[in-house]
Chains A and B, each alone.
Chain A
Amino acid sequence: MDKPLTLKSNRTLQITYNLPISRTSKFWEGLKEGKIYATKCEKCGRLHFPPVADCGECGSSNMKWIELDGEGEIETFTQVVVKPASFSKESSYIVAIARLKEGVKALAWLIGVEREDVEVGMKVRLVARVTSDGRVAYEFVPI
């Protein structure tokens, strides 16, 4: 079969989103200070992580900030080998979901350990991180 004819469009588009974080700024500022915050609904008591400014459970917007200890246990994980375009410069990375002792769960990279040594039930700690290019994030490290 002949190779299908296609017209290569030269209208390229680079999209950069600006993500509004005013209402959860304490969380993002906290990461720079090495702290991980969740929000707790003052009305119904629900603890939210990732943090939210409004409680979808009861409808209240009266939230307080709670610092998390970060200790938790891995419930599941994977290693991303084939990466999306914007992560192409990264080495393969392990992503884990862990339940923290406060009851909420988090999804983050697990660093400092080989995939072969990771197990469900492994104890980890969620820690804040500022990357070399200035991005604020958080990651799991083995305890």
Chain B
Amino acid sequence: MGHSRFGDRSDVNLSELTFEAVQPSLEESGLTAKEIPYVAVGSMGVWSEEPLPAVVIAEYCGLTGAGLVRCEAACASGSAAAFTAYSAIASGQMESALVVGAEKMRQIDTPTVLEMIGRAGYYLWEFENFGMTFPAYYAVHAVQHMEKYGTTEEDLALVAVKNHRYGAMNPLSHLQHEITVEKVLGSSVIAWPLKLYDCCPITDGAAALVLASEEKVKELGVEAPVWIEAIGYSSDTANLSKRENYVGLEASVRASRMAYKLAGISPKDVDVATVHDCFTIAEIMAYEDLGFCEKGEGARMIREGETEVDGRIPVNIDGGLKAKGHPIGTTGVSMLAELTKQLREEVKPRRRQAPMKNYTALAHNTGGTGHYGYVTILRR
């Protein structure tokens, strides 16, 4: 696997950025670009100039000729790309494949980014007349969660404080500074009750993974391979108004139950997780939706430190989307790259390494406002 530094990467274009992730992933795997039969690229790509990001990336990285697809599942595009490659190998079609996440979001102004993401709910019924933004979509979840379970703005702030603390330890992370609850609560309102520090940044970044069959892994002599044990998937309505409630994401619940069942594990077997914390409330809902705690108990988990590196289930100890950054189509691939490092016990600095008991990790990647749900279980 490979992973670029996340952040404002105006120093490189999309292809150059992606090369930073693709080249190390190939070198580590022992395969050359010419030996890769298929490439699945997770990218939304509306914020940078190339409408066909997969083809320019493939050419630049020497992958031309391989089977190629750009996968779109909004913020879960990276997981959709991983699922595409995983399924192709599992079906026997091929023995290996490259998964790429690539996004350059900082080539246009912030109001236009908000516009492009805001349109990605149900344009006709939520944006045309009502100008919903992504912070607003998650804010309506925060309001109902607070109303129903007594979750507070301070609880949300604790998620940001935790993820910034780990982000500051991660050299690949976009935001490298620690913050305090006071700083979160005092930051400007974006979509009430969510404030600036409740929101993930607008980030450039790329990540890549080489997937291979068991036989191919043996042939290549890969030491300590990390296996995709299961990928669970689901979706939810385009219209938020067609959902029963706003205290969680049903697509996450369904995708995680499917993944646990396929892998034959339960939430308590997970040693470390990355969850889709595009906004602080999203991490609290994810604890609940993934079964790390009972519904309504998410805020308690963050208050009691259960998701710290030495807690019951360490979550987002790479900084999460909140501090590491959320280059839309890259995020799912970045999660799998981080968990691969965790499972290999090679995270540096060591205080960011989760203790391994079962050598089992979980990646939770949501697209849109819970429109797409993917949960991947990795094992070493």
Interface residues of A (CB under 8 A from B): 4, 6, 9, 19, 49-50, 75-88, 90, 93, 95, 97, 104-109, 115, 120, 135, 137-138
Contacts and interface: CB of A to CB of B under 8 A. Distances in A.
16 contacts: A50-B125, A77-B143, A78-B192, A78-B194, A81-B189, A82-B114, A84-B111, A85-B115, A93-B131, A95-B140, A97-B246, A104-B241, A107-B132, A107-B241, A108-B130, A120-B147
Given A75-B144, A95-B130, A105 B135 contact: no
Interface string B229-243: 000000000011110
Contact of B129 (A82, A83, A137): A137
A57 B133 CA distance: 29
Contacts of B119: 84
Which of B107, B118, B136, B144 has the most chain A CB atoms closer than 10 A to its own CB? B136
A138 B129 CA distance: 8
Interface in B162-219: 188-194
Contacts of A75: 144, 245-246
B28 interface: no
Given A4-B11, A105-B242, A84 B192 contact: no
Contact of B114 (A76, A85, A104, A115): A85
Interface string B105-127: 00101011011001100001111
A6 B114 contact: no
A78 B10 CA distance: 33
A26 to B, nearest CB: 16
B176 to A, nearest CB: 14
Nearest to A95: B130
A85 B49 contact: no
A77 B191 CA distance: 10
Which of A78, A87, A105 has the most chain B CB atoms closer than 10 A to its own CB? A78
Which of B111, B139, B188, B192 has the most chain A CB atoms closer than 10 A to its own CB? B192
B35 interface: no
A81 B129 contact: no
Given A105-B241, A107-B126, A107-B241, A80 B140 contact: no
Given A82-B135, A84-B112, A95-B140, 15 more contacts: A4-B11, A6-B10, A50-B241, A75-B245, A76-B140, A77-B140, A78-B140, A78-B191, A79-B191, A80-B132, A80-B135, A82-B114, A82-B191, A83-B133, A86-B115
A71 to B, nearest CB: 16
B130 A107 contact: yes
8 closest cross-chain pairs (CB), A and B: A78-B139, A84-B115, A87-B131, A85-B111, A4-B10, A105-B241, A79-B192, A137-B129
A104 B244 CA distance: 10
B59 interface: no
Given A82-B135, A83-B114, A107-B126, A76 B246 contact: yes
Contacts of B127: 84
B310 interface: no
Nearest to B10: A4
Contacts of A6: 10, 107
A3 B341 CA distance: 33
A97 B241 contact: yes
B140 A109 contact: no
B136 A78 contact: yes
B27 interface: no
B114 A84 contact: yes
Contacts of B346: none
Contacts of B241: 49-50, 97, 104-107
B114 to A, nearest CB: 4
A136 B114 CA distance: 24
Contact of B124 (A4, A19, A79, A80): A19
B128 interface: yes
Given A19-B124, A82-B190, A106-B241, A120 B144 contact: yes
